[in-house]
Chain A
């Protein structure tokens, strides 16, 4: 607002609606001339200084990590922990260049990704709708919740023997364990999101003629989406943890199996390569989910 005096005079001479758009829109979209290129760059720099610094510091930090790793392995430091057999970054890089031309290594990665994809997708397809329905209908919540609460604290790895008994093939039991790992975080977060839906929004929808199904689709679901995506992100992390554990114990193929096999075959560089591959895959998949979240919830990005 441009001051009370100006406002008052506007009110008396113009229709109120017009006066308001003028004063309020000035706040949001101030009209200014297109600035020169140099000024634009400068302004961009000033606005993004923080982020630029974070990128530079992040890169330096990673570089320092590599150098420390290199020095520790080069001089075979033994100080509580033993770096005698730990592969150097260069050795790992070497085995990486070999591995990317090796179809077997790529198959390991592809198989792990496929297991994650199937296990995680199933968990999302079951967990999200179940959470939504449990959040809406008390009776279903009362029936399902106690069982879920008993099964939830059991780590997915503890399911390995049971999974082997339950499923006819090794592949299926690994997917099942991945599914279990991500299922509970997704379910719990969806439920949490449902419990936080603002009842006034539900009432607003009712006053606009929305029936049960529309309220579910237009209010409960979008209102819970932020928490659903939190659940998906956490679930994806746990899915990888469970997958790698399952692959190490019962697998043939898969990046977890590759890492364990490297240890058995005394190929130390491949251990680190397997670990880094797992890290990169985990990072990539959580990026995908975050990107998906931004796509599905455009109102949350500012």
Chain B
């Protein structure tokens, strides 16, 4: 595993002039339009945006599952051309192989590379140790909690020593407490491995807490609305989420996203209606007032 720890920083993601549209019977529908993002080697970058804005589409294009309609996606100057082990991916649905034990799941990428089994075993054990999962190496995924499953998912993606790690709302299905712990674990792993991370989420707190920079996307067709550097110092503590600096960032991002979410809803709910939602009930139940 030492080659992972001492590797020189690499993994620069560049997405340039990127658009992607789907063919439908009514003609092409643009999901992402004219987008430009980059991730520097070793940087942690998040993409936030209203649901359906194409942030996952963008991530899937970096992973190589989708081809851009126009523009380019490159990693370290090489054009992305289909999925590969150079870009590790973590999915919201965990997507562990149910028929493989935890360790076999982690070993999978190394096995695909033809690495002998004793070496795979050692590597998998080391990584599982980093994620606090040694005791569960022989378990099948079905028996793990959501948080443990996702830790296996992250470690599995890291096992092949990818240049970049792509995460698609990885903690979206977890409860709030587990999510906080998972964020801490991901930060620890990232700092240790010095890997570039592109992280998609709709959780603003999560994006600020984890990232060096946050891209905020517009409603569909998605494009970059703002790029916000997060100057909070590291290592970050959970307590920072109460600091005025954090809250200021949060307020800024919140208002950006809110604008876009309202747009995404097609103007059905305007600002006035939103104000109407904060009805003062004066201690009565809503039914009584109505």
Contact = CB atoms under 8 A, between A and B. Distances in A.
A282 interface: no
Nearest to B93: A200
A4 B132 contact: no
Given A18-B132, A218-B97, A207 B145 contact: no
26 contacts: A11-B181, A12-B239, A16-B184, A17-B131, A18-B132, A19-B181, A20-B181, A20-B185, A24-B147, A29-B135, A201-B97, A204-B89, A204-B91, A204-B95, A207-B85, A207-B87, A207-B89, A208-B108, A208-B156, A208-B157, A208-B160, A210-B108, A222-B99, A299-B98, A299-B100, A299-B140
A114 interface: no
A18 B188 CA distance: 12
B132 to A, nearest CB: 4
Contacts of B188: 15-17
Contacts of A302: 142
Binding site of A, secondary structure by majority: helix, strand, loop or mixed?
Answer: helix
Nearest to B86: A209
B84 A209 contact: yes
Contacts of B151: 20
Interface in A197-254: 198, 200-201, 203-211, 214, 218-219, 222-223, 225
Interface residues of A, number: 40
Contacts of A21: 132-133, 135
A200 B135 contact: no
B85 A208 contact: yes
A28 interface: yes
A180 B147 CA distance: 48
Contacts of B100: 299
A17 B113 CA distance: 28
Contacts of A15: 188
Interface in A1-27: 1, 4, 7-8, 11-12, 15-21, 24-25, 27
A297 interface: yes
Contacts of A222: 97, 99
A209 B112 contact: yes
A298 B83 CA distance: 30
Contact of A28 (B84, B87, B98, B143): B143
A15 B184 CA distance: 9
A198 B177 contact: no
The 7 closest A-B pairs by CB, nearest first: A209-B85, A208-B109, A17-B132, A16-B184, A206-B83, A21-B132, A222-B99
A204 B237 CA distance: 32
B87 A297 contact: no
A283 to B, nearest CB: 28
Nearest to B129: A17
B35 to A, nearest CB: 22
A33 to B, nearest CB: 20
Given A11-B184, A204-B91, A298-B140, 9 more contacts: A11-B181, A29-B135, A200-B93, A206-B83, A208-B88, A209-B109, A209-B113, A214-B112, A299-B142
Contacts of B87: 207
Contact of A203 (B83, B85, B237): B83
B238 interface: yes
Contacts of A214: 112
A12 B109 contact: no
Interface string B61-86: 00101000000000000000011110
A60 to B, nearest CB: 36
B31 to A, nearest CB: 18
